[in-house]
Amino acid sequence: MQLLFEGWRKYLGENLIPGYDRIPSEEFKEQIRNLNKNDWLIMYHGTTLKHLQTLINGFDATEERSRYFSPSKHPGMFVTPSINVTSGFTNIGGFILELKVRAANLHGTDYGGNIGRKEGGDKIWRDDYPNSFRPSLSDSLLSGGTEPQALLLGLVSPKQILKIYYNKEETWYTREEFLKLGLTKNNIDIDLSSPNISAEELFAFFSKQHRNLDTEEIKKVFQTKVSGGKDAIRDLLMYGGVGVKFGKTAANSIAKKIIQYFNS
């Protein structure tokens, strides 16, 4: 498997830390030892087509998720700076996401999804990584044995999905190129992770999605849910009652705005 590590720094200048294939460079190690919360990292996540369809239009990585090799669920998503680490999952799931994520949203973790800093890891590793804002994360990325990894807890927009590897074709695609393959739902032109969507923007989006309904008709659909309060609208947005599934953070925020819209 080959990937050209070109053009990453153009996204966010020198604050962007590239990933690697099998062996981390000395430059990578030095950057991780001196990790800053405002750094951005290239990370990888192996997945299935079914799971990919829930991620391709933006996702909320703070939600609880099931795991491939365990019945347990926990908040967050496992990611790694090493493409090679994802290869085992790719043989099963068939796809790799290349993500651009903030260091502040990454946490050192064990195989059970336990966050290192909550287990006292930052104190344990402070002497080894005195210049890292999160020593347990630096250790998880550098001393993870055969699987350097981190737990991603944060919102990921479509723009942060840089590339997708399709194992069957042994090819990397940009997100836009991958959508054109027709394997997943088309780009729905909205970020399902974003809590910044206004009520008016939401109504306009659904009017565009459902071409047989104008904006006023869309408003009536949501207005019928207002009596059930914020949770009723949140659940409608989160669980696909409107045709798409928004992330939990986004759904909570938008639901509040819809309540305010009809009560103003």
Q: What are the pLDDT digits (tens) for 10-30?
A: 444 446 888 888 888 899 999
237 is written with which tokens? 């947005």
- State whether residue 97 is helix, strand or coil: strand
For the chain, the 3-state helix, strand and coil shares in percent, each to the nearest 5, are 40, 20, 40
**Per-residue model confidence (pLDDT) at position 34:** 95
**Per-residue model confidence (pLDDT) at position 68:** 61
Write the burial class of residue 74 (CB in 10 Å: 0-12 exposed, 13-18 middle, 19+ buried).
Answer: middle
d(CA 8, CA 2): 16
Q: Which residues contact 45 (CB under 8 A, 6 or more apart)?
A: 77, 78, 79, 80, 86, 96, 97, 99, 152
Give the residues across from 151 on adjacent strands: 78, 107
Residue written as tokens 């790694």?
80
**Per-residue model confidence (pLDDT) at position 219:** 93
90 is written with which tokens? 């790719």
**Per-residue model confidence (pLDDT) at position 260:** 95
Q: Which residues of the chain have pLDDT under 50?
A: 1-14
Alpha-carbon torsion 248, 56, 45, 79, what sign? negative
**Per-residue model confidence (pLDDT) at position 30:** 94
**Per-residue model confidence (pLDDT) at position 75:** 86
**Per-residue model confidence (pLDDT) at position 2:** 36
